[in-house]
Amino acid sequence: PVKTRKLPNCHSRTTELGLWKNTGLCCCLLETVKRFMTLRVKSDKEYAAQLLSMTQQIEKQEAADYVSTVSKSWSQVIRQTEALGRVMRSHADDLNSGPLHRLAMLIRDKQQVKKSYQSLHQQLESYNHKVTRSDLEKLRASYRQLSRDANNAKEKYKEAVAKGREAERSRDRYDKATAKLHNLHNQYVLAVCGARIQQDEHQRHAAPALLDALQRMQEDMTLALKSILEEYCQISSLLTEDIVRVHQEISEAVQQIDPLAEYQHFIDAYRSPEMPEVNVEFDPSLLDETDNISANEILWNTLTADNLQSIKEERVSQSKLNQAFLPVALTVFIFFKLFLGLFHPSCVLLLSQKLSLLELRHTVQSLRGSEARLLSQKALLDAKMAVASPPPPPAPLALQYEDDTRSVGSTDKTREKSSRFDTLRSLAGMIRSPKAMLGSSSSVIPTSERPLAEQEWYHGAIPRTEAQELLRQQGDFLVRESHGKPGEYVLSVFSDDQRRHFIIQFADNQYRFEGTGFSTIPQLIEHHFSTKQVITKKSGVVLLNPVVKDKKWILNHEDVALGEMLGKGNFGEVYKGMLQRDKTPVAVKTCKEDLPPELKIRFLSEARILKQYDHPNIVKLIGVCTQRQPIYIVMELVPGGWSYRMACPQRCPDEVYKVMQRCWQYNPEDRPKFSELQRDLASIKKK
Q: Name the more confident of 58 and 351.
A: 58
Quote the mean pLDDT of the chain. Answer: 77
Residue 343 · residue 351 · CB < 8 Å:
no
> Rounded to the nearest 5°, which phi and psi values hold at 62?
-70, 140
Residue 21 · residue 266 · CB < 8 Å:
no
Q: Is 67 annotated as a binding residue?
A: no
How many C-beta atoms surround the C-beta of residue 266 within 10 A?
18
Q: Name the more confident of 344 and 149.
A: 149
Give the pLDDT confidence score for residue 41 in this predicted structure. 73
Region class of 5: left (phi > 0), else alpha (psi between -120 and 50), else beta: beta
**Best CA proximity match to 346, nearest among 227, 461, 232:** 227
What does DSSP assign to residue 206?
I
Q: Name the more confident of 421 and 477.
A: 477
Give the pLDDT confidence score for residue 383 in this predicted structure. 78
Determine the distance from the C-alpha atom of residue 256 to the mean position of all C-alpha atoms in its chain, rounded to a whole number.
51
Q: Is 274 annotated as a binding residue?
A: no
**Best CA proximity match to 480, nearest among 465, 463, 495, 494:** 463
Q: Is 589 annotated as a binding residue?
A: yes
Peptide bond into 273 cis (omega under 30): no
Give the pLDDT confidence score for residue 175 in this predicted structure. 93
At residue 609, does pLDDT exceed 60?
Answer: yes
At residue 344, does pLDDT exceed 90?
Answer: no
At residue 433, does pLDDT exceed 50?
Answer: no
Instruction: Name the CATH topology of 105-384.
Output: Substrate Binding Domain Of Dnak; Chain:A; Domain 2 (1.20.1270)
Q: Name the more confident of 231 and 570.
A: 231
Q: Is 371 annotated as a binding residue?
A: no
Distances (CA, A) of 441 to 432, 437, 444, 476, 545: 20, 12, 5, 12, 7
At residue 653, does pLDDT exceed 80?
Answer: yes
Give the pLDDT confidence score for residue 478 in this predicted structure. 96
What are the domain boundaries of the chain?
105-384, 425-546, 557-686
Q: Is 570 annotated as a binding residue?
A: yes
At residue 583, does pLDDT exceed 50?
Answer: yes
pLDDT band at 323 (very low <50, low <70, confident <90, very high): confident
Give mean pLDDT, residues 557-563.
92
User: Cα(219)–Cα(531) distance, rounded to whole angstroms?
Assistant: 46
Give mean pLDDT, residues 253-275.
75
Q: Is 183 annotated as a binding residue?
A: no
User: Cα(486)–Cα(462) distance, rounded to whole angstroms?
Assistant: 11
Host H or E run for residue 603:
helix 597-611
Q: Is 569 annotated as a binding residue?
A: yes
At residue 104, does pLDDT exceed 70?
Answer: yes
Q: Is 421 annotated as a binding residue?
A: no
User: Cα(254)–Cα(73) distance, rounded to whole angstroms?
Assistant: 6
Give the pLDDT confidence score for residue 351 in this predicted structure. 63
Instruction: Name the CATH topology of 557-686.
Output: Phosphorylase Kinase; domain 1 (3.30.200)
Alpha helix (H) ranges present in 385-448? 410-426
Give the pLDDT confidence score for residue 12 in this predicted structure. 47
Torsion of CA 449, 454, 456, 460, to 10 degrees: 120
List, for residues 206-245, the tens digit of each pLDDT value.
888 888 888 888 888 889 889 988 888 887 767 777 778 8
User: Cα(465)–Cα(492) distance, rounded to whole angstroms?
Assistant: 11
Best-predicted range by mean pLDDT (76-90, 332-346, 436-450, 499-513): 499-513
At residue 397, does pLDDT exceed 50?
Answer: no
Host H or E run for residue 125:
helix 99-129
List, for residues 157-205, the tens digit of each pLDDT value.
999 888 888 888 899 999 999 999 999 999 999 999 999 998 998 888 8
Q: Regarding beta strands 489-495 and 498-503, do their DSSP bridges make them parallel or antiparallel, or are they unpaired?
A: antiparallel
Torsion of CA 624, 627, 631, 637, to 10 degrees: -30
Residue 13 · residue 271 · CB < 8 Å:
yes
Rg (CA), the chain: 38
At residue 403, does pLDDT exceed 90?
Answer: no
b/e sequence 451-468, b meaning 16+ C-beta within 10 Å: ebeebbbbbbbbbbbbbb
Residue 226 · residue 259 · CB < 8 Å:
yes
The residues facing 481 across adjacent strands are 489
List, for residues 21-54, the tens digit of each pLDDT value.
666 677 788 888 888 888 877 777 776 777 777 7
User: Cα(631)–Cα(603) distance, rounded to whole angstroms?
Assistant: 9
Residue 632 · residue 574 · CB < 8 Å:
no
Give mean pLDDT, residues 100-128.
87
User: Cα(643)–Cα(669) distance, rounded to whole angstroms?
Assistant: 17
Q: Is 314 annotated as a binding residue?
A: no
Best-predicted range by mean pLDDT (93-107, 276-290, 428-442, 580-594): 580-594
Q: Is 568 annotated as a binding residue?
A: yes
Give the pLDDT confidence score for residue 546 in this predicted structure. 94
Residue 588 · residue 519 · CB < 8 Å:
no
Host H or E run for residue 137:
helix 135-163
User: Cα(363)–Cα(333) distance, rounded to whole angstroms?
Assistant: 10
User: Cα(232)–Cα(234) distance, rounded to whole angstroms?
Assistant: 5
- Three-state DSSP class for 175? helix
Q: In what order do the strands lie in the sheet with 476-481?
A: 498-503, 489-495, 476-481, 545-546
User: How many percent of the chain have pLDDT more than 90?
Assistant: 20
Residue 662 · residue 675 · CB < 8 Å:
no
List of residues 6+ apart from 10 with CB closer than 8 A = 208, 211, 212, 215, 267
At residue 610, does pLDDT exceed 80?
Answer: yes
Instruction: Name the CATH topology of 425-546.
Output: SHC Adaptor Protein (3.30.505)
Host H or E run for residue 624:
strand 621-625
Q: Name the more confident of 588 and 674.
A: 588
At residue 4, does pLDDT exceed 60?
Answer: no
